Chains A and B, each alone.
Chain A
Amino acid sequence: MITKDDNELVYEVIHGNISSFEILIERYQKTIFNIVLRMVNDEETARDLTQDIFIRVYEKMGSFKFSYRFFSWIYRIAANETINYLKSAQRIELHKLTEKLVNEADSGSEREETIQKLRKGLRQIRPDLRLLLLLKYFFGLSYEEMAEVLQLPEKKIKARLFTAREVLREELLKNDFFDHDR
Chain B
Amino acid sequence: MTDKKIKDLIYRSLEKELTPEEQQNLDRCLATHPGAARLYKEWDQISDQVNREKENLVNIDLKQAILSRIDMKKYAQQEAKPEIRITTALWHRPQVRYGFYFLMGVFAGFLLFSFLKVDITGSKVQTQDMKGTLYDSRSFDDMKVADNILYESPLARAVFAVRYSTKIVEARIDLSSLYPIKTTVEFDFNNFEVLNVQNVSVNDQTTAMAASNFLQINNVGDNKFIVQLYNKNSLQHNIDFKIYQNDLPLYQNSVTVNKE
Contacts and interface: CB of A to CB of B under 8 A. Distances in A.
B50 A137 contact: yes
Interface centre among B39, B66, B72 (most CB of A within 10 A): B66
B65 A51 contact: yes
B75 A62 contact: yes
B8 A162 contact: yes
B139 to A, nearest CB: 60
A15 B75 contact: yes
A18 B67 contact: yes
Interface stretch (B77-85, B105-113, B249-257): B77-85
Interface of B is mostly: helix
Given A111-B52, A137-B50, A33 B58 contact: yes
Interface string B185-225: 00000000000000000000000000000000000000000
A135 to B, nearest CB: 12
Contacts of A55: 66, 69-70
Given A15-B81, A138-B53, A169 B46 contact: yes
A115 interface: yes
B7 interface: yes
B11 A43 contact: no
B62 to A, nearest CB: 5
B45 A179 contact: yes
Contacts of B39: 169
B62 A178 contact: no
Interface in B89-135: none
Interface in A7-21: 13-18, 21
Interface residues of B, number: 40
B58 A51 contact: no
A150 to B, nearest CB: 18
Nearest to A29: B62
A61 interface: yes
Contact of A169 (B42, B59, B67): B42
A100 interface: no
B28 interface: no
B63 A22 contact: yes
12 contacts: A15-B81, A15-B85, A16-B75, A18-B72, A21-B67, A29-B66, A47-B62, A55-B66, A111-B52, A114-B49, A138-B53, A168-B46
A180 B41 contact: yes
A129 interface: no
Contacts of B47: 137
Given A16-B79, A178-B42, A30 B74 contact: no
A177 interface: yes
Contacts of A162: 7-8, 11
